Amino acid sequence: MKNHNIAVSAPKAVAFLLTGLIASLLAAPPEYNSNIEEIPNSRVMVVNMQTIFDASARNNAKVFPRSIESIAWNSTGTKLFIDCQGVNQYFAIADLSSAIKGAAKVKILTHTRDKGNTRLNNANPAFHPGNKYYVFSGQDIGVNEYKRSLPGYGFCTNLCLADIQSNVYWPLTTYVSTAKSIRGAVMPQFSPDGSKLFWTACESKSGDKEIFGKRTLMLGDFAIFSDTPQLTNAKSIAEDQLSGAFAESYGFSPDGKQLLFAGTRKNVNEWSRMDIALYSLETNKVTFLTTRNDTWDRYATFTSTGRKILWSSSGDYTIPYLGTGGSQWQNEMLSELWIMNANGSNRWQLTHFNERGHSHYAGCKCFVGMIKWHPTKKNTVAFILHKQHSLNNTSSSIIIAELGNSLIGGK
């Protein structure tokens, strides 16, 4: 066999190499690091964002916008539950699992809780780790209270547990509301092993000026005895370290040792000045992760291993007025999705829905609501985006976002 020596001039060699490089880039676009917990926060960016459900467009009924307060994944990421306003303006728990596959069909789950009565607010669903049950905050049967029992307020409610298959319901808490004091239980979250339940108790007495009343974080033991769920040993936590003006429970750390919540620090009496914080079940101490007096920090979730936290923050936006007692906050609030390390360091803004000219711009004032990290994926988060169209006219949508490394590239 003869050897053939091919001589190529320098310019032609360079052109040949460039052509090959361009072809390889076109054939194999750069991948982004999908494990967000291995990336410095300043290099994390939203690489893909999709609206999977718009509550105001459901059934093409745009007579009034509809709100969503909560979103919940089951432990495998195959089911997605929300609470959503119906045509009668009351909230119901809904199965939106089809949205994961692109269908976005809604199946209402709580319409049989009171013999078919749909004029009750049912909200804040959260799955038990075994995926057989879910817990939620349900308006007290027989109580004709609409506004204050909405999930944003949570009065005249108690925690209920439901069997997903049979729609059998059990009461878990027994708060009693009276004319002088209305009470409730909201935002329940199970521990990773399902043995504990974390929630927020609320109480408003006659003459209270703040719309949220007093908020207290609660912790109890959960178990099934003789096929009957029971919540026992309920106790308040961290009351001596919080002001009580605001508290909201978001969940356990993946190792079950810490509780993630928003709360107001001692001597802070305005509910809108809440901060993201952790409560250690080992030391019973609260650690505040955000501490800016002029910033609204709410709704938080751990990433899959607990090394980072995503939350909703008003950041550097100026919000001059929220209404008397904060009653107009939904019309004035501006916030974005942020990320930080689990110790509160290296905070970084991920979205820019309120910034004109940015690709994320939503076209109106808006704020990020409840956030839930995907239980099995390392780069995916679901959150609620609330858009303020006009006075007292807010609608909600659910967004699934994929995060990636800004220096490596995206898709």
DSSP 269-323: --TTS-EEEEEETTT--EEES---TT--EEEEEE-TTSSEEEEEE-TT-------
Is residue 27 one of the residues assigned to a domain? no
Q: What is residue 322's predicted lDDT score, i.e. its pLDDT?
A: 78
Listed as ranges, residues in the chain with pLDDT below 70 are: 1-34, 57-65, 324, 391-392, 408-411
What local confidence, expressed as pLDDT, does residue 64 receive?
Answer: 52
As a whole number of angstroms, the distance between CA 72 and CA 124 comes to 8
Is residue 394 a part of any domain in this protein?
yes
Helices (H) and strands (E) in the chain, counts: 2, 24
pLDDT of residue 408: 58
pLDDT number for residue 13: 40
Predicted pLDDT at 60: 38
Which of these, 241, 255, 340, 245, lies nearest to 290 by C-alpha position? Answer: 340
Q: Does residue 4 sit within a domain?
A: no
In a domain, 227, yes or no: yes
Is 396 inside a domain boundary? yes
Contact between 230 and 214 (Cβ < 8 Å): no
Alpha-carbon radius of gyration of the chain: 24
pLDDT digits (tens, 9 = 90+) for 47-96: 999 999 988 764 434 445 589 999 999 999 999 999 998 888 899 999 99
- 206 lies in some domain: yes
Total-model pTM: 0.89
Residues 50 and 310: their CA atoms lie apart, in Å, by 18
* Inside any domain, residue 19: no
Domain range for 102 is 32-405
- The reported pLDDT for the residue numbered 320 is 73
Per-residue model confidence (pLDDT) at position 65: 59
Count of domains observed in the chain: 1
| Tens of pLDDT, residues 343-391 | 999 999 999 999 999 999 999 999 999 999 999 999 999 999 999 877 6
HEC profile of 3-19: CCCCCCCHHHHHHHHHH
* Residues 6 or more apart whose Cβ sits within 8 Å of residue 171: 158, 159, 160
Q: What is the CATH number of the domain that holds 360?
A: 2.120.10.30
Q: End-to-end CA distance of the chain, in Å?
A: 48
- The answer to whether residue 361 is domain-embedded is yes
**307 with 315: CB under 8 angstroms?**
no
Q: What is d(CA 289, CA 324) in angstroms, rounded to the nearest whole number?
A: 28
